């Protein structure tokens, strides 16, 4: 039952809302309806204030054709073949994190460290930014942006929303000058078009022969780099946090992961980088992560808007109505998952029915960071279980939704390093 308390309150609340205002869509059929109609007669429309923070050209707000074009551009870096080329770099950022933040420590608090780790991975692989001070400044500005997204839209000095808009301006200026430098490096052959997301998008916009992508403007690149950073780092940090928690609570699962890791790497020289094929073989590790996502989905749901009257289940949903998809209720469906309350990675032994497991949603807006998050998670877990055992300082620590489900005290743990 450990995984459940994170979203139990949300589940009860959303059931109540469903009865009261009838806008929630859940379960396989609800999801199929919503995600198959996404970008057709149902669209993703952010509040105007959120668009001001994320920028008008961010993927979530683009009309269908522009959305397709921009997604294609982002996916050219996020697809497995491209990520394969940056695997070792991702691994070295993760290793450096363990050296700097875990080594020699008796205890740590997991949530802030996971946010720091995923922010550094993203800085390196999305922006090619390695300087520690610059990362620190950007990290503060990105935190301010996120606070604004979830605040009252009052643009007055001292409010979170105002702070968020100012942070956005600073980030835009910084990204614009990074783009300028990178453009020159690409022109001079000193940077490669596939080294990070920024180079990838920029080289597409510089390649005038490529009719599909030449229209990428600097504004589009900046707005989408901001979106990818926001969408990518806190979500993954929450997954890693819950994994650390679950592995402490379930020693037999920790043992099985360790066994898989040992088997996959048997015969391989110690301290050599992980290979792409090693990651692909760590299937049990990913099942544990999927089970963690099932019971503790970082994104508990999201809004869509009907652009015309749409029929569903014998009812007409009027044009302009907001619809809300939810991961939590879907993931506890006893027909899709036997003993849904139980944390059991075997839930993922067989192919699942479509639209029953949706932590990354589905359809044309399915998360483009799926493979990025998967690789990052597997590498992290590999070093975590190889180097450490740990225990929870507060095994019954409460969960809060802030807005993602997270331990209320940040998950302090006691570390026991293993000998080499």
Q: Which residues bind ligand HEM (CB under 6 A)?
A: 44, 59-60, 71, 227-228, 231-232, 235-236, 239, 298-299, 302, 359-361, 365, 367-369, 372-373
Q: Rounded to the nearest whole angstrom, what is the least distance from the CB of residue 302 to ligand HEM in the complex?
A: 3
Q: Rounded to the nearest whole angstrom, what is the least distance from the CB of residue 353 to ligand HEM in the complex?
A: 19
Q: Rounded to the nearest whole angstrom, what is the least distance from the CB of residue 291 to ligand HEM in the complex?
A: 13
Q: Rounded to the nearest whole angstrom, what is the least distance from the CB of residue 60 to ligand HEM in the complex?
A: 4
User: Which CB sits closer to ligand HEM, 141 or 196?
Assistant: 196
Q: Rounded to the nearest whole angstrom, what is the least distance from the CB of residue 208 to ligand HEM in the complex?
A: 26
Distance of CA 154 to the CA centre of its chain: 28
Rounded to 5 degrees, φ, ψ at 66 are -65, -35
The annotation places the binding site at: 367
User: Which CB sits closer to ligand HEM, 345 or 359?
Assistant: 359
Alpha helices in 250-369 (DSSP H): 251-264, 276-281, 283-295, 327-331
Question: N- to C-terminal Cα distance for the chain?
Answer: 34
Report the length, in residues, of the chain.
420
Cis amide prior to 380 (ω within 30 degrees): no
Alpha helices in 102-209 (DSSP H): 110-122, 132-149, 160-187, 197-206
Q: Could you please report the per-residue DSSP string of 26-92?
A: -HHHHHHHHHHHBTTTEE----HHHHHHH-TT-GGGS-HHHHHHHHHHHHHHHSHHHHHTTHHHHHH
User: Which CB sits closer to ligand HEM, 129 or 265?
Assistant: 129
User: Which CB sits closer to ligand HEM, 244 or 265?
Assistant: 244
Residue 252 has, within 13 A of its CA and on its CB side, a CA count of: 3
Given a contact cutoff of 8 angstroms between Cβ atoms, the answer to whether 215 and 221 are in contact is: no
Nearest to 374 by CA among 308, 309, 310, 285: 285
The annotation places the binding site for heme at: 367
CA distance 407 to 412: 9
Q: Is 305 helix (H, G, I), strand (E, B) or coil?
A: strand
Q: Rounded to the nearest whole angstrom, what is the least distance from the CB of residue 90 to ligand HEM in the complex?
A: 11
Helix axes 370-387, 110-122, angle to 10 degrees: 130
User: Which CB sits closer to ligand HEM, 239 or 310?
Assistant: 239
Given a contact cutoff of 8 angstroms between Cβ atoms, the answer to whether 225 and 129 are in contact is: no
Q: Rounded to the nearest whole angstrom, what is the least distance from the CB of residue 76 to ligand HEM in the complex?
A: 13
CA distance 282 to 378: 7
User: Which CB sits closer to ligand HEM, 231 or 248?
Assistant: 231
Given a contact cutoff of 8 angstroms between Cβ atoms, the answer to whether 410 and 110 are in contact is: yes
Given a contact cutoff of 8 angstroms between Cβ atoms, the answer to whether 297 and 328 are in contact is: yes
Q: Could you please report the per-residue DSSP string of 235-249?
A: HHHHHHHHHHHHHHH
User: Which CB sits closer to ligand HEM, 213 or 235?
Assistant: 235
Q: Rounded to the nearest whole angstrom, what is the least distance from the CB of residue 54 to ligand HEM in the complex?
A: 10
User: Which CB sits closer to ligand HEM, 110 or 239?
Assistant: 239
Question: Which residue's CB atom is positioned nearest to ligand HEM?
Answer: 369
User: Which CB sits closer to ligand HEM, 278 or 371?
Assistant: 371
Q: Rounded to the nearest whole angstrom, what is the least distance from the CB of residue 262 to ligand HEM in the complex?
A: 26
Beta-bridge mates of residue 309: none
Distance of CA 9 to the CA centre of its chain: 22
């Amino acid at each position: 039952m450990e995984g459940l308390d994170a979203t139990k309150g949300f589940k009860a609340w959303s059931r109540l809302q469903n009865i009261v205002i009838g806008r929630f869509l859940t379960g396989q059929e609800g999801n199929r309806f919503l995600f198959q109609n996404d970008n057709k007669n149902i669209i993703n429309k952010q509040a105007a204030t959120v668009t001001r923070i994320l920028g008008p050209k961010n993927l979530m707000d683009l009309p269908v054709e522009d959305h397709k074009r921009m997604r294609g551009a982002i996916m050219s870096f996020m697809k497995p073949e491209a990520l394969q080329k940056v695997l070792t770099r991702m691994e070295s950022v993760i290793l450096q994190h363990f050296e700097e933040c875990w080594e020699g420590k008796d205890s740590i608090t997991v949530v802030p460290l996971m946010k720091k780790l995923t922010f550094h991975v993203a800085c390196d692989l999305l922006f090619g930014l390695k300087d520690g001070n610059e990362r620190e400044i950007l990290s503060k500005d990105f935190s301010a942006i996120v606070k604004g997204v979830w605040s009252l839209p009052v643009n007055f000095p001292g409010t979170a929303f105002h702070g968020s808009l100012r942070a956005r301006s600073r980030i835009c200026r910084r990204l614009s000058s990074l783009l300028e430098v990178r453009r020159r490096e690409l022109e001079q052959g000193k940077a490669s078009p596939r080294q990070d997301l920024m180079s990838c998008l920029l080289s597409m916009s510089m390649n005038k022969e490529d009719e599909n992508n030449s229209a990428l403007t600097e504004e589009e690149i900046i707005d989408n780099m901001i979106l990818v950073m926001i969408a990518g780092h806190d979500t993954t940090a929450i997954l890693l946090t819950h994994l650390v928690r679950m592995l402490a609570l379930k020693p037999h699962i920790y043992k099985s992961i360790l066994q898989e890791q040992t088997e996959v790497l048997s015969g391989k020289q110690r301290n050599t980088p992980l290979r792409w094929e090693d990651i692909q073989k760590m299937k049990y590790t990913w099942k544990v992560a999927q089970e963690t996502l099932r019971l503790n989905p970082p994104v508990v749901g999201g809004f869509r808007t009907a652009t015309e009257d749409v029929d569903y289940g014998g009812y007409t949903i009027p044009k302009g109505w907001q619809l809300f998809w939810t991961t939590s209720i879907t993931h506890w469906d006893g027909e899709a998952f036997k003993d849904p309350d139980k944390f059991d990675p075997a839930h993922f032994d067989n192919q699942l029915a479509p639209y029953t497991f949706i932590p990354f949603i589905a359809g044309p807006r399915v998360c483009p960071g799926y493979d990025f998050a998967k690789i990052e998670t597997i590498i992290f877990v590999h070093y975590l279980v190889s180097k450490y055992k740990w225990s929870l300082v507060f095994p019954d620590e409460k969960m809060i939704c802030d807005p993602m489900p997270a331990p209320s005290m940040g998950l302090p743990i006691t570390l026991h390093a293993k000998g080499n």
